[in-house]
Chains A and B, each alone.
Chain A
Amino acid sequence: MTKPKSTSRMEANLPGPEDIHRQVLPNGIVVLCRSNFNSPSVVISGYIQAGSLFDSDEKLGLADFTARAMMRGTEKRDFQQIFDALESCGASLGFSSGAHTTGFSGRALVEDLPLLMDLLAEAIRMPMFPTRQVEKLRAQLLTGLAIRAQDTSDMASLTFDQIVFENHPYSRPEDGWPQTIQAITRGDLVRFHQKHLGPRGMVIVIVGAVEAGLALEQIERVLGDWRNPRQPESPVLPPLKPLIQSVTRKVTIPGKFQSDLVIGASGPKRLDPEYIPASLGNSILGQFGMMGRIGEVVRERAGLAYYAYSSLNAGIGPGSWDVAAGVNPGNVEKAAGLIQKEIARFVKKGVTADELADSQANFIGRLPLSLESNAGVANALLNIERHNLGLDYYRRYPNMVKVVTPEQVVEVSRKFLHPDKLAVAVAGP
């Protein structure tokens, strides 16, 4: 009979320097691998240093359009051939762009890893951007934008970003606007790809039923000799001016039965020392249990919303810290009032030792759950590499969480959340 594993063994199961294999190729590509022979599949994911920060305002969405168009045909295979190769073996692969990077992720049974690598490299190195396929994709992107314009949650988030990140590139949606997608030509896609996609700063993670040495061989085989001498440096972000007063903006979308609210401000960067205290604060505010204090007040007590929660979004540049809720249009003001009152209480009174201990326990206890699957581990490795956290990060993480104090949490919340300097975005009828 086997006994359940002890806590120390639980922590030893977390990825660390002895089971994460990291290597930098001569052309700059960083490769991370971790083997997992418990399932016969393999996940690849990663990013390239080409995102919407390179897009002009007039052609916003170019990086993302290019990313999605790369799989529409290559020098070796046309669109149907690419997807026939993938779908015949139950594999998947896709690209999309954010502000800083173009990301990709794929999955296959391990016997199809060489094929997946071939297709990844083909799409990255030799896309053809066939005209008809580009136009089909354009119609799909435009339909997606028409749907976005009708989505109260998407539009509230988008409007929130426009307020908080005014005059900063983060105010712009990576998928652009209908008029900007219409303005992009095939030539633009070709030029964007040729100029911006290159191996410098590229990261590839492979997790699954494959030895690190074999995984590395696969990557070297298809991407080892890739160069792009034209690849530019990543753009520098301008400083962000925080809000000096509260700003409310509403987007009217007729015919809807629910309005969406997003209320908050900018937040720390991922590498700021405030990040972990802010995360814990965010957990208390609107995540822990049934959506924390916000859930308690807006859903449990007032019955105003099926969902009401807070998020901390922290990346390479300044992030955001916000509360989101979906409410009946007649309750928007009431819900907004409750949320703002709760934020004010949070920064004024701070958090109790018990509340903090609960969230600390949650952060530490859930680690093995988030690192159980190949996809979970792949995300964790990407996270380590993107922010240079160190291969032993997940071993050190529990302690980094344990040492945070209630005083640190309240200090960090007061730094970012000012009750009279909040962005309030509403989308609804």
Chain B
Amino acid sequence: MNDSITRTKLSNGLQILLKEIHTAPIISHWAWYRVGSKDEQTGRTGISHWVEHMQFKGTPQYPASVLDKAISREGGMWNAFTYLDWTTYFETMPADKIDLALRLEADRMYNSLYDPKEVASERTVVISEREGSENEPLFLLSEAVQHAAFRVHPYHHEVIGDLADLKSISRDDLYNHYRTYYQPNNALIAVAGDFDTRRMLKLLRELYGDFPAGPHLQRLSRAEPASSGEHHLTVEGPGETTYLEVAYRSVAGSHPDFYPLSVLDSLLAGPSNLNMFGGGGISNKTSRLYRALVEKELAVAVNGGLTTTLDPFLYSIMITVHPSRKPAQALAALDGEIKRIQDELASPEEIARAIKQARAIFAYGSENITNQAFWLGYAEMFATYDWFTSYLHKLAEVTPKDVQRVAQAYLRSQERVVGTYLPTGSGGSQ
């Protein structure tokens, strides 16, 4: 795979990353904004995500619903996502139709209307989105665990926001949030696919070159203090299935310990799939936790989750408890495996295996131009694109001692949150 990219920055601060790929007549174009739930104060939780919704509600040039219809008419695929650290909008189009996407994104960087009627209608849509999530036991559990793990740091609330704020946020709140963060010096345009770099750059300069840089942003910055001890919590709700979420404080994506932690996660719970597109990951049935919990019939499933964030977030292990077992039994087995990986060195073969798995997962993701374009911007949100291109190489440098060290440093029970979802329906275990 050819990794050569063109990287530039306009005088107004807009970052541009371009990667030519000529394997199919497709172009994928992403607009990234460095704003997410991390930038939200109490009383305004969910505002970044709601702004993302409002970005589809029209500008003078492209009124509401003209935008998505215009893309669909050309056979394009589009979507938008809000996360802890960023918000992104993408369009994947047949190559000769990409101009439309470029114009749409440039237009809505400044010109979204935030019509009060649209705000009112979208309020109930976002609340409906939240209600759909509340139907899921795992969402309720995750939200409680996240809240317990971050008392101070603004990672403490879900991207969707709290209902209290979804009910009270005003049109002006939304508009001000938009005007504050949607500025060229807080944005990145990434394009991958079947184009000519010089022509694409020329187009982007024409579209964005005259935009003025926004004022320097004051970021909400509240470091989470060290944890004072292990925190247990329970969420009760409907159903028959008991879940355990065990969450440890992790590291920023750009931290050098991310690589040994990634290997540790692979060994414990199977490899994570960091690709947004390109199909599912691989199974984890030979991972240590699967063997200790699922094969031993203490659990029916176990998963690990390591994610790449700007500030340290969480490394979470999710366990679906076996219907005839108690959560304490599953937790004891988990603790046994954590102690084992802290006390005994993993073998070089296990680590080589984790690296081969990562290599395969990256190869699968490389088939898809939308996924390649995704990585151009995504890596820049917490590090740089070099993070992506050097990932496998950095992983290959991880030694058994590194894995042991991070297991000891980060998987300390004194600093974790243990959340249990207890079903109040028939057959719930206590």
Contact = CB atoms under 8 A, between A and B. Distances in A.
Interface of A: 1-7, 9-10, 13, 36, 38-41, 79-80, 83-84, 86-92, 94, 107-109, 136, 139-140, 142-143, 146-147, 149-152, 253-258, 288-290, 296, 299-307, 326-328, 358, 361-369, 372-375
B368 A361 contact: no
Given A143-B320, A373-B368, A90 B360 contact: yes
27 contacts: A2-B22, A3-B196, A4-B25, A5-B194, A10-B25, A80-B286, A87-B285, A87-B353, A89-B356, A136-B294, A140-B300, A143-B323, A146-B240, A147-B241, A253-B238, A289-B69, A300-B121, A303-B123, A305-B125, A305-B128, A307-B132, A361-B74, A365-B93, A369-B76, A372-B26, A372-B367, A374-B367
Contacts of B74: 361-362, 365
Q: Which of A290, A327, A365 has the most CB of B within 10 A?
A: A365
Contact of A80 (B20, B56, B291, B361): B291
Contacts of B280: 92
A68 to B, nearest CB: 12
Interface string B67-90: 011011111110000000000000
Nearest to B20: A2
B289 to A, nearest CB: 13
B72 A83 contact: no
Contacts of A38: 23, 367
Contact of B135 (A89, A257, A366): A257
Given A13-B24, A90-B271, A365-B76, A139 B363 contact: no
Contact of B75 (A1, A303, A361): A361
Contacts of A150: 137, 238-241
Nearest to A87: B286
Contact of B283 (A10, A87, A255, A369): A87
Given A4-B96, A88-B356, A306 B295 contact: no
Contact of B65 (A140, A296, A306, A362): A296
Contacts of A140: 300-301
Contact of B95 (A4, A258, A303, A327): A4
B369 interface: yes
Interface string B257-301: 000000000000011000000111111111100010011010011
Interface in B333-372: 353, 356-361, 363-364, 366-369
Contacts of B72: 288-289, 358, 362
The 6 closest A-B pairs by CB, nearest first: A365-B75, A90-B360, A255-B238, A303-B124, A306-B129, A303-B121
B30 to A, nearest CB: 15
Interface string B108-140: 000000000000111111111101101101000
Contacts of A375: 279, 367
A299 B194 CA distance: 35
A102 B301 CA distance: 23
Contacts of A3: 196
Given A4-B196, A289-B69, A79 B301 contact: no
A301 B121 contact: yes
B237 A83 contact: no
B155 interface: no
B119 to A, nearest CB: 10
A92 B324 CA distance: 30
Contacts of A147: 239, 241
A215 B304 CA distance: 35
B32 interface: no
Interface string B308-339: 00000000000010111000000000000000
Contact of B132 (A40, A296, A306): A306
Given A255-B237, A289-B68, A358-B73, A369 B94 contact: yes
A150 B241 CA distance: 10
Given A4-B96, A80-B291, A258-B131, A41 B360 contact: yes
B394 interface: no
B64 interface: yes
Contacts of A92: 280-283
B97 interface: yes
B192 to A, nearest CB: 12
Contacts of A10: 25, 94-95
Contacts of A36: 367
A290 to B, nearest CB: 5
B146 interface: no
B211 interface: no
Contacts of A79: 285
Given A4-B27, A79-B285, A139-B297, 6 more contacts: A36-B367, A258-B134, A305-B125, A326-B128, A326-B132, A362-B73
Interface residues of B, number: 88
Nearest to B280: A92
Contacts of A149: 240
A374 B353 CA distance: 24
Nearest to A137: B300
Contacts of A86: 282-283
Contacts of A2: 20, 22, 194, 196
Contacts of B240: 146, 149-150
A41 B363 contact: yes
A6 B96 contact: yes
Nearest to A327: B128
A422 B301 CA distance: 39
B154 to A, nearest CB: 24
Contacts of A257: 131-132, 134-135
B286 A146 contact: no
A5 B369 CA distance: 15
Contact of A146 (B56, B194, B241): B241
Contacts of A255: 237-238, 424
A289 B427 CA distance: 44
A328 B280 CA distance: 31
Contact of A302 (B121, B291, B361, B368): B121
Contacts of A1: 196, 198-199
Nearest to A84: B286
A40 B366 CA distance: 9
Contacts of A364: 75
Contacts of A302: 121
Nearest to B96: A4
B363 A306 contact: no
B75 to A, nearest CB: 2
A414 to B, nearest CB: 25
A304 B124 contact: yes
Contacts of A89: 356-357, 360
Given A41-B360, A296-B65, A91 B76 contact: no
Contacts of B1: 39
Contacts of A304: 124-125, 128
B121 A306 contact: no
A303 B129 CA distance: 11
A382 to B, nearest CB: 15
B163 to A, nearest CB: 10
Contacts of B15: none
Contacts of A87: 270, 282-287, 353, 357
B323 A142 contact: yes
